[in-house]
A and B are shown apart, each in its own frame.
Chain A
Amino acid sequence: MTVTARVSFGFWSDRVVAADQLQSDLRESGEQAITVGGENGPPIGCLVVLTQKPQLDLAELGTLARLANRAKITIAVDRHRPGTDDGPPWPRDATLYWGGRYPDLAEVAQALVDLVRPAGLLSSALPAFLPTDRPLPGIPHAGDRHELIAQLRRPEQLRVISLTRDLHDELLRPRRAESRADYDLLRLVRWAADEANRPFISLRLTRSERPSIRPEQPRALDAVLQDLRTRRLVLLLGEPGAGKSQQLRYYDAWAALHSLRQPGDGPLPPGAFCVALAAQPAQPDITMDWLAQQWATVVDPERWCDLRTFLADGGTVLLDGLNEGGMRALPLREWMTRWRDVISQLLGAGATKVVVSCRTRDLVIPMRAPRNETPTEVSLLPLSKDDIVAIATQADPAMARRLKPALDEDGMIEQLYSSPFRLRRFLETGADGIALTDSRLYGMVIAAALLRDFEQDNLHDGLVPDRVAAALRSHYVNPWPVLDTIAVIKALAALAKELTFPAVPGGNARLTMRRSAAIGVLHDALAEAREDPSKAGLALDTAEDFHILQEERGDIRFAHPSLQHLFAAAGCTDAEIVALAEQERQPAVLPGRLPPSYAEHRYEEFFRFAAQLRPDVPRLLLRVDPVLAARAYLAAGPDARRGVDAEIRESLANLLVDEWAPAQRAAIMTALGELGWRLPTPSYRGSEALAAVPAGEWRLGRRGHDDAPETDTDSEPRTIALPGFTIARSPVSNLEYGVFVEAGGYDDKAWWTPEGWQWVTNSRAVEQSVIEWTRRQDNLRRDLGQIVTLLRARRATPASAAALLRFARLSETEIVAYARSQQARPIRYPRYWRRAALNNPLQPVVGVSWFEANAFCAWLADRHGVPVRLPSENEWEAACLHSLGLTDSADVTGTHGNTLAAGFPSTTPIRTYATEAQQRSRLPVEMLGNVFEWCFDYYAPGHHNRRILKGGSWRHEPWRAHPAYRGRGDVDAQNDDLGFRYVMEDAES
Chain B
Amino acid sequence: MNGAEKPGDDQMRGGTEDLVGEIATMAEDPDSDEAEILERLARLADSFSPDEVFAVLARFDTPDLLG
Q: Is the CB of B3 within 8 A of A791?
A: no
Residues of chain A within 8 A (CB-CB) of B45 are 802-803, 805-806, 809
Give the A interface residue count (CB, 8 A).
84
Distance in Å: Cβ of B18 to nearest Cβ of chain A: 5
Bound complex: CA A572 to CA B50 (Å)? 56
- Chain B: minimal CB distance from A787 (Å): 7
Those of B1-23 within 8 Å (CB) of chain A = 1-4, 6-7, 9-21, 23
CB of A569 to closest CB in B, whole Å: 43
- A residues near B24, Cβ cutoff 8 Å: 798
What is the bound-complex CA distance between A365 and B59, given in angstroms?
31
Q: CB distance B66 to A780 under 8 Å?
A: yes
Flag if B57 contacts A314 (CB, 8 Å): no
Instruction: Return chain B residues, CB-CB under 8 Å to A301.
Output: 1, 3-4
Pairwise interchain contact B63-A796, C-beta atoms closer than 8 A: yes
Report A873 CB to chain B, min CB distance, Å. Answer: 15
CA–CA, A32 to B7, complex, Å? 52
| A314-B15, A800-B56 given; A805·B41 CB < 8 A | yes
Q: Give A788 to B41 CA distance when docked, in angstroms.
A: 9
Q: Which chain B positions have C-beta within 8 A of A969? A: 60
Known: A305-B6, A788-B34. A799 touches B16 (CB 8 A): no
Scoring B7, B16, B37, B57 by chain A CB atoms within 10 A of each residue's CB, the highest score goes to: B57
Task: Check: A567 CB closer than 8 A to any chain B CB.
Answer: no
Report the Cα distance A970→B57, complex, angstroms. 10
Q: CB-nearest residue of chain A relative to B51?
A: A213
**Are the C-beta atoms of B13 and A267 separated by less than 8 Å?**
yes
| Residues in A neighbouring B9, C-beta threshold 8 A | 264-265
B13: A residues at CB distance < 8 A = 267-270, 313-314
Taking the nearest CB of chain B, how far is it from the CB of A708, in angstroms?
12
The contact string, 1 if C-beta is below 8 Å from chain A, for chain B 21-59, is: 101100100100010011001111111101111111111
Q: Which residues of B contact A313 (CB under 8 A)?
A: 11-14
Docked CA distance A798–B2 (Å): 41
Q: How far is the CA of A292 from the CA of B58 in the complex (A)?
A: 48
Given the interface contacts A792-B27, A798-B23, A806-B46, does A779 sit within 8 Å of B56 by beta carbon? no
| Chain B CB within 8 A of A165 CB | no
CA gap between A785 and B33 in the complex, in Å: 11
A804 part of interface (Cβ distance < 8 Å): yes
A804 CB to closest chain B CB (Å) equals 6
Task: Tell me the complex Cα distance, A796–B45, Å.
Answer: 14
A801, B41: Cβ atoms closer than 8 Å: yes
- Interface residue A698 (Cβ < 8 Å from any Cβ of B): no
In the bound complex, what is the Cα–Cα distance between A775 and B66 (angstroms)? 8
B17 to chain A, nearest CB (A): 6
Q: Which of A210, A268, A305 lies at the interface centre, i.e. has the most chain B CB atoms within 10 A of its CB?
A: A305
Shortest beta-carbon distance from A301 to chain B in Å = 4
The complex places the Cα of A269 from the Cα of B59 at a distance, in Å, of 37
Q: Please, how many angstroms separate the alpha-carbon atoms of A806 and B50 in the complex?
A: 8
A47 and B38 CA atoms in complex are apart in Å by 47
In the complex, the answer to whether A312 meets B3 with C-beta atoms within 8 Å is: no
Contact of B38 among A306, A784, A970 (CB under 8 A): A784
Min distance, Cβ A520 to any Cβ of chain B, angstroms: 45
Question: Which residues of A have CB within 8 Å of B50?
Answer: 810, 814-815, 817-818
Residue of A264, A303, A973 touching B58 (CB-CB under 8 A): A973
Chain A residues with CB under 8 A of B23: 791, 798, 801-802
Q: Quick check: B20 and A787 within 8 Å, CB to CB?
A: no
Question: Chain B residues near A798 (CB, 8 Å)?
Answer: 19-20, 23-24, 27, 41, 44
A787 and B42 alpha carbons, distance in the complex (Å):
11
Does any Cβ of B come within 8 Å of A949's Cβ? yes
* Chain B neighbourhood of A180, CB < 8 A: 6, 10, 12
* Nearest CB in chain A: distance from B49 CB, A: 8
- Are B38 and A229 in contact, CB atoms less than 8 angstroms apart? no
**A264: chain B residues within 8 A (beta carbon):** 9
Closest beta carbon of chain B to A947's beta carbon, Å: 11
B63 to chain A, nearest CB (A): 5
State how many angstroms separate the Cβ of B26 from the closest Cβ of chain A: 9
Q: Does A267 contact B53, Cβ atoms closer than 8 Å?
A: no
| A52 to B63 Cα, complex, angstroms | 65
Contacts of A801 in B (CB 8 A): 23, 41
| Contact, CB under 8 Å: A807 / B2 | no
Q: How far is the CB of B48 from chain A (nearest CB, A)?
A: 5
A802-B66 in contact (CB<8A): no
Q: Does chain B have a CB within 8 A of A955? A: yes
Closest residue on chain B to residue A304 by CB atoms = B6
Residue of A nearest to B55 (CB): A213
Contact B51 A818 (CB under 8 A): yes
Contacts of B30 in A (CB 8 A): 792
Shortest distance in angstroms between B53's beta carbon and chain A's nearest beta carbon?
A: 5
- Contact call A268/B10, Cβ cutoff below 8 A: yes
Q: A817: shortest Cβ distance to chain B, in Å? A: 7
Other-chain residue from A309, A775, A805, A932 in contact with B42 (beta carbon distance below 8 A): A805
> Which residues of chain A have C-beta atoms less than 8 A from B64's C-beta?
968
Q: Tell me whether A533 is interfacial, beta carbon within 8 Å.
A: no
Q: Which residues of B contact A790 (CB under 8 A)?
A: 63, 65
Q: Which of the residues A179, A308, A779, A802 comes within 8 Å of B67, measured between beta carbons?
A: A779
Are the CB atoms of A955 and B61 closer together than 8 Å? yes
Complex partner residue of B17 from A353, A796, A800, A809, CB under 8 angstroms: A353
Asked if A231 lies at the interface with its beta carbon under 8 angstroms from chain B, I say: yes
**Does A776 sit at the interface, judged by CB under 8 A?**
yes
**A228 in contact (CB, < 8 A):** yes
Q: Is the CB of A268 within 8 A of B11?
A: yes
Measured CA separation A249–B3 after assembly (Å): 26
Contacts of B41 in A (CB 8 A): 787-788, 791, 798, 801-802, 805
* Pairwise interchain contact A304-B61, C-beta atoms closer than 8 A: no
| Chain B residues within 8 Å of A353, by CB | 17
Residues of A within 8 A of B67 (CB): 775-776, 779, 943
B40 to chain A, nearest CB (A): 8
A373 CB–B CB distance under 8 Å: yes
Those of A909-943 within 8 Å (CB) of chain B: 932, 943
Name the residue in B2, B15, B16, B63 with the highest tally of chain A Cβ atoms < 10 Å from its Cβ: B63
**Bound complex: CA A62 to CA B41 (Å):** 50
Contact of A213 among B16, B38, B52 (CB under 8 A): B52
Q: How far is the CA of A784 from the CA of B41 in the complex (A)?
A: 11
Q: How far is the CA of A786 from the CA of B41 in the complex (A)?
A: 13
Q: Is the CB of A975 within 8 A of B60?
A: yes
A956 engages B52 (CB within 8 Å): no
A967 within 8 A of B: yes
A795 to B62, CA, bound (A): 8
A803/B21 contact (C-beta < 8 A), A314-B14, A350-B14 known: no
- CB proximity to B under 8 Å, residues A847-906: none
A314 CA to B14 CA, complexed, in Å: 5
A791-B18 in contact (CB<8A): no
Q: Could you say which residues of chain A place their CB within 8 Å of the CB of B10?
A: 179-180, 268, 304-305
**Shortest Cβ gap from B14 to chain A (Å):** 5
Q: Are A799 and B42 in contact (CB under 8 A)?
A: no
Task: Kindly identify, within residues 339 to 378 of chain A, every residue whose CB is under 8 Å from any CB belonging to chain B.
Answer: 347, 350, 352-353, 373
Which residues of A (792-847) have their CB < 8 Å from a CB of B?
792, 794-796, 798-807, 809-810, 814-815, 817-818, 821
11 contacts between A and B (CB under 8 A): A210-B55, A212-B52, A228-B47, A302-B4, A314-B16, A353-B17, A780-B65, A801-B23, A802-B44, A814-B50, A815-B50
> Beyond A267-B13, A807-B53: 10 further Cβ-contacts under 8 Å?
A211-B55, A271-B12, A314-B15, A347-B16, A779-B67, A786-B65, A803-B45, A803-B48, A804-B62, A810-B53
Measuring CB to CB, which residues of chain B are less than 8 angstroms from any residue of chain A?
A: 1-4, 6-7, 9-21, 23-24, 27, 30, 34, 37-38, 41-48, 50-67
The 5 closest A-B pairs by CB, nearest first: A306-B3, A776-B66, A313-B12, A803-B56, A806-B45
Taking Cβ atoms with an 8 Å cutoff, the residues of A that contact B are 179-180, 210-214, 227-229, 231-232, 264-265, 267-271, 292, 301-309, 312-315, 347, 350, 352-353, 373, 775-777, 779-780, 784-788, 790-792, 794-796, 798-807, 809-810, 814-815, 817-818, 821, 932, 943, 949, 955-957, 960, 967-970, 973, 975
